[in-house]
Amino acid sequence: MGSQQVVCFSLYSHYMLCSSLQLFDETKSWIEALQYCDQLSSSLVEITNQTVLEELKTILANKTGLQKEVWVGLERSIFGTNVKWQWISGATAEQADWISSFPANSFNNHCGKIVWNNQSQTIQLLDANCHDKLPFICQGELLTVESSLT
């Protein structure tokens, strides 16, 4: 079983949007990881806001002995040329989040991973071969919760 963390960010004045992030050390191909997350009623994590990014940093910084590369819910079609990278929800991945050498292999790499640099405490995206075996992070369903007033 993976380590789990709940991520929340403010939605409206009295509501928050929350989901759970769960890191699995077991290595799988990208599609195997996607299917595994789906069996848990979740999906591979999408880094679409700063809150999720910061929680991922916390999870990876606290995990000793883990490979510093992890599958995320990022993909691009194998059809066509100059196809944009997208999160599995359809949102476009921002270019600023990519490692400067991106893409490493624009012809064969159609799945995305994050690379954690423990020294600089940064996460960057990198393309990878979908058949590589890596740990992965699942993101549970988003839930809207009412925040308590103090």
Dump pLDDT digits (tens) for 119-148.
788 888 888 999 999 999 999 865 555 555
Q: What is the pTM of this model?
A: 0.77
Q: Alpha-carbon torsion 132, 138, 23, 47, what sign? A: positive
Based on the structure, what is the number of domains in the chain?
1
- For 51, residues 6+ apart whose C-beta sits below 8 A from its C-beta are 7, 8, 9
Q: Read off the pLDDT of residues 37-91 as tens digits, 9 standing for 90 and up.
A: 999 888 999 998 888 888 888 888 877 655 589 999 999 877 666 677 889 998 8
Structural domain range at position 100: 3-146
For residue 133, what pLDDT is reported? 97
How big is the chain, counted in residues?
150
CATH of the domain at 20: 3.10.100.10
Q: Which helix (H) or strand (E) holds 54?
A: helix 50-61
pLDDT band at 31 (very low <50, low <70, confident <90, very high): very high
List Cβ<8 Å contacts ≥24 apart for 61-64: 61/116, 61/118, 61/121, 63/3, 63/23
Rg for the chain, CA atoms, rounded: 15
Tell me the pLDDT band of 150, cut-offs 50, 70 and 90: very low
